[in-house]
Chains A and B, each alone.
Chain A
Amino acid sequence: MSLASVEHEFLYSLIHSEDYGVDFLSQLVTVGSLPVEKQLSIYHANVNGAHQKVLAQVYPACFNILGEDYFNQLCFFYRCEYPSTKSDLNVYGQYFPSFLESRVTTREELSDFEYLGELAKLEWYWHKSYFSDNDPVFDFENLATVSEENYVKLSFTLSFSLSLHATRYPLIELWNANVQKLTGTQEFLMPDSMIYFCVFRETFKQVIEMLNEKQHACLTLISNKASLLELNDAELQNELLFFIEKGWVTGFLLDD
């Protein structure tokens, strides 16, 4: 068997369930104290462990809610559905929120956890902002040189670390309680209206900040590359200055 075949069979047997590795076992021989089945099972355990560890670190609140055993089971199914395609383990969990959202709708045992996908999103935003690129300082001088007729082409860029979210669940309270691993029964009141917030990084530290509906809408417009003319509302333009001060809006673009 060629090196290519060995590598393919070995890795595929690890990505999929242990049963998948049966064919690969014929490539191994028992030496010393390890039978061939044991050889492969050690790698299964190592690979599972590495992936579980990463997801548990990125999603501590989900881990706390689901418990270690169930969380690890989900990690295994997630790995089968979304095998890692990047060398960077920091990005491995990016599809976990949507994976959880779909699980919640299809698995009866998760029916009480309809907020889980959104909670995972919050955890992903938190994780992502920690590693995101440093932002440039807003270039007011250059902005002042943009003529009024070009405002239609002028759009703004958001901080690399910024993520926006709107929810009908008390997500931040849920997240706080679960990352602190509070014990006992916790009760969370459903908000009367939608909650808006953003996650971003101030120098080195991640922050969650509440937004009002208008701010959320304005930041969403900016993230969709709305031009200054589309933001042509006195209130929105005031918000824009506030966003620049906060470091949420970090630059601008002039589209040709």
Chain B
Amino acid sequence: MQVLQQAQLVNTQSSSASISGVGLGLRSPHISEVLSDLPNIPWFELLADNHMVEGGLIAAQLEKIAGHYPVTFHSVALSLASIDPLDLNYLAKLKKLMRQHGVKWLSEHCCFTSVAGFHSHDLLPIPYTEESLQHMVQRISQVQDFLGEQILLENVSSYASFAQTTISEVDFITAVAEQSDCLLLIDVNNIYVNHINLATDVDDYIAKLPYERIKEVHLAGFDEREGFILDAHNNPVAEPVWELYKQLIKIIPDVPTLIEWDNDIPSLQTLMAEAEKAVLIKNAMMYEASHVTG
């Protein structure tokens, strides 16, 4: 037990530290509290789009957060899968902010959000085909060349099943990652949402992932709706999602994990309690792994 206690919270509270342990998605209702109390949280992920402002409080807060904690960026508007040209202004702003604040990495979704100059402000899936694969590889390569670093690609929750799809989602993101040499952010809740809504095979999904490319895991809660579940990020992580997380963490116990909560946002303490659950699972799996190998 002593070993577990020691491993539990690796909080460096230093912006130069690397990303490890269980972090939180930091949203505006908690920023003031975090900056005044500097709670024991190893790292924060920020929605880059919320911080791409010209001035004022939000810009000042980003500087302070990044001064105290290691920070990663998660963006929602790069529209990686879009057939429109990449928005280089957006990308340049992202790059500037990342350099300015020592952001550790950028993650984006395997989807499109805009086309023909119109923006949906939602994560829209694409059919998984050879054409889509080549397109995604080319786009991610372009982004990585521009940024001068690897990005993390996230699997999305989907409510649409395309007739053209010829490749499973896990095979698709694996092939994209390998061919573009990007890394992966695996959202376990999204795997579960797609399993319930689109009858995907979760065990097959977890088994086929390219573990060496997974740099981050997301955990979030869904909302039960009539006939489907919605990836609403408005609830605690559900039990079946924790079970899937255990399955994955058993294989890659060291992978940094993040709790995301974007709607009906609860107290910071509630978020930290969710993170603590993930810490316990990670520690148990790390202990098991060291016990087996040792």
Contact = CB atoms under 8 A, between A and B. Distances in A.
A105 to B, nearest CB: 27
Contacts of B83: 3-4, 7
Given A31-B198, A32-B199, A134-B59, A11 B118 contact: yes
A36 to B, nearest CB: 8
A255 to B, nearest CB: 25
A7 B112 contact: yes
B117 to A, nearest CB: 6
Interface in A13-39: 14-15, 26-34, 38-39
Contacts of A46: 122
Contacts of B197: 32-34
A73 to B, nearest CB: 19
A133 interface: yes
A15 B83 CA distance: 17
Contacts of A10: 124, 160
A178 interface: no
Interface string A97-126: 000000000000000000000000000000
Contact of B122 (A3, A39, A43): A43
A84 B131 contact: no
Interface residues of A, number: 48
Contact of A34 (B115, B122, B162, B228): B228
Q: From DSSP, what is the main secondary structure of chain A's interface residues?
A: helix
B232 to A, nearest CB: 9
B99 interface: no
A34 B124 contact: no
A89 B230 contact: no
Contacts of A47: 120-122
Interface in B88-120: 90, 112-120
Interface stretch (B13-21, B50-58, B248-256, B273-281): B50-58
A132 interface: yes
B230 A3 contact: no
Contact of A42 (B55, B126, B159): B159
A83 B118 contact: yes
Given A11-B115, A39-B161, A46-B122, A87 B55 contact: no
Nearest to A38: B227
Contacts of B53: 90, 131
B219 interface: no
Contacts of B90: 87
Nearest to A24: B160
Contact of B227 (A4, A33, A161, A204): A33
B228 A84 contact: no
Contact of A11 (B77, B114, B129, B164): B114
A87 B118 contact: no
Given A42-B228, A43-B122, A204-B56, A2 B131 contact: yes
A87 B115 contact: no
Interface in A178-193: none
Contacts of B132: 3
Interface in B170-205: 196-199
B292 interface: no
9 contacts: A3-B132, A6-B164, A34-B161, A39-B159, A40-B160, A46-B122, A87-B49, A87-B90, A87-B114
- Give the top 10 A-B pairs by smallest Cβ distance, nearest first: A32-B199, A87-B77, A134-B55, A133-B54, A204-B57, A31-B161, A84-B119, A42-B159, A133-B55, A7-B115
